[in-house]
C-alpha cells in the first residue's frame, strides 16, 4: 500500500453503524509478553548486552527490527546490517520455540465470549497484528479459522501508529474504516486506529488512554452491547 493512508474521524452528527471489530493479537486476545522478554533476554545475555524488564517495556507494539535497535543501544560493539538480521532471526527462533507452549487455555479472559457475542450480532471480525508470528499463534490457541480476515507483519511495511495494518484489515473485510472499531492494548495502536478513521477501544496497557473511545482493563469487562453503543 503506497503512501500513508489516513482518513478523518467522524463527528457525532455523522456517526456510522458498527460493521466490524478489528483486534490486535498480543495483549488483547493472548499474552506473549513474557515469552518475548525471555527470547530478547536470552539473545542479550548471549551477546553480553544489558537488558532488563524496563528496557523490554519500550518494545511494546514495536516491530522486531525496531525492537532490536532498542536492545542494541547498550551493545558494547557495532553490528552490520547482516549481523542485525541474523540476531533478529535468532531471537525469533527462540520465541517460536517458546510459542509451542501456547494452547487455547492461554486465550485471555473474556476474549472468546466477546468474539462469539459480536459474531451473533452480525459483526465481522479481524485480527490485525504487526507480529509475523500472528498466524502461528492463532493456530496454537485454536483460532486460526475463526476470523473473517487476518493481517500480520508479513503483509505490511509500516508499523503503528501508521494505520496501514488496520486499513488493510478493513479492506479485506470489505468494510469502510468509519464502520470499524479497533481493540488495542498499546497507545500507538489507538493512535493508528484514529489515524485510519476508526474508533478504538483501549484495554490492558491502553485502558487509561484518554483518547480511546472505550476503555477497559480486560475484555472480560466488556460486552458486545458496550461496543455497539460507541457508534
Q: Given a cut of 90, is residue 216 above it in pLDDT?
A: yes
* Residue 48 pLDDT: 97
* Residue 15 pLDDT: 55
Identified catalytic residue from 26, 155, 162, 185: 26
Q: Is 24 a catalytic residue?
A: yes
* Residue 62 pLDDT: 77
* Residue 167 pLDDT: 98
Query: What is the band of 59 on the pLDDT scale with cuts at 50, 70, 90?
Result: confident
Residues 6+ apart with CB under 8 A from 80: none
- Model confidence pLDDT, tens digit, residues 140-164: 999 999 999 999 999 999 988 999 9
Which fold would CATH assign to domain 12-31+104-228? Rossmann fold (3.40.50)
Please check whether residue 29 is in contact with residue 118, taking contact to mean a CB–CB distance below 8 angstroms: no
- Model confidence pLDDT, tens digit, residues 172-209: 999 999 999 999 999 999 999 999 999 999 999 899 99
Distance, CA of 12 to chain centre = 27
Tell me the average pLDDT across 64-86: 96
Give the start-to-end residue ranges of the domains of the chain: 12-31+104-228, 33-99
Q: Given a cut of 90, is residue 13 above it in pLDDT?
A: no
- Which triple of cell numbers denotes residue 86? 541474523
Tell me the average pLDDT across 21-31: 95
Identified catalytic residue from 24, 33, 155, 213: 24
For the chain, the average pLDDT equals 92
- Which triple of cell numbers denotes residue 129? 497484528
* Residue 159 pLDDT: 84
* Residue 120 pLDDT: 97
Tell me the average pLDDT across 21-34: 94
Q: Given a cut of 60, is residue 86 above it in pLDDT?
A: yes
**pLDDT-above-70 percentage for the chain:** 93
pLDDT, greater one: 60 or 130: 130
Instruction: Say which DSSP state 151 is in.
Output: E
Q: Which CATH architecture has domain 33-99?
A: Orthogonal Bundle (1.10)
* Residue 98 pLDDT: 95
Q: Given a cut of 80, is residue 6 above it in pLDDT?
A: no
* Residue 9 pLDDT: 41
Q: Given a cut of 90, is residue 8 above it in pLDDT?
A: no
pLDDT, greater one: 216 or 14: 216
Please check whether residue 169 is in contact with residue 196, taking contact to mean a CB–CB distance below 8 angstroms: no
Distance, CA of 109 to chain centre = 17
Amino acid at each position: 500500500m503506497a503512501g500513508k493512508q489516513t482518513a478523518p474521524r467522524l463527528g457525532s452528527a455523522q456517526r456510522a453503524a458498527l460493521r466490524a471489530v478489528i483486534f490486535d493479537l498480543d495483549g488483547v486476545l493472548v499474552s506473549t509478553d513474557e515469552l518475548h522478554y525471555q527470547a530478547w533476554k536470552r539473545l542479550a545475555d548471549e551477546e553480553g548486552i544489558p537488558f532488563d524488564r524496563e528496557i523490554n517495556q519500550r518494545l511494546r507494539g514495536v516491530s522486531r527490527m525496531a525492537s532490536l535497535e532498542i536492545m542494541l543501544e547498550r551493545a558494547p560493539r557495532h553490528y552490520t546490517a547482516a549481523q542485525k538480521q541474523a540476531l533478529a532471526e535468532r531471537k525469533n527462533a527462540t520465541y517460536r520455540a517458546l510459542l509451542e507452549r501456547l494452547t487455547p487455555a492461554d486465550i485471555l479472559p473474556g476474549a472468546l465470549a466477546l468474539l462469539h457475542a459480536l459474531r451473533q450480532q452480525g459483526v465481522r471480525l479481524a485480527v490485525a497484528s504487526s507480529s509475523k508470528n500472528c498466524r502461528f499463534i492463532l493456530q496454537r490457541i485454536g483460532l486460526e479459522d475463526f476470523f473473517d480476515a487476518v493481517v500480520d507483519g508479513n503483509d505490511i511495511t509500516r508499523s503503528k501508529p501508521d494505520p496501514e495494518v488496520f486499513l488493510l484489515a478493513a479492506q479485506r473485510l470489505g468494510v469502510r474504516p468509519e464502520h470499524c472499531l479497533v481493540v488495542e492494548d498499546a497507545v500507538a495502536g489507538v493512535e493508528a486506529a484514529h489515524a485510519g478513521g476508526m474508533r478504538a477501544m483501549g484495554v490492558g496497557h491502553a485502558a487509561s488512554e484518554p483518547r480511546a473511545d472505550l476503555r477497559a482493563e480486560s475484555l472480560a469487562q466488556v460486552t458486545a452491547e458496550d461496543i455497539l453503543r460507541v457508534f
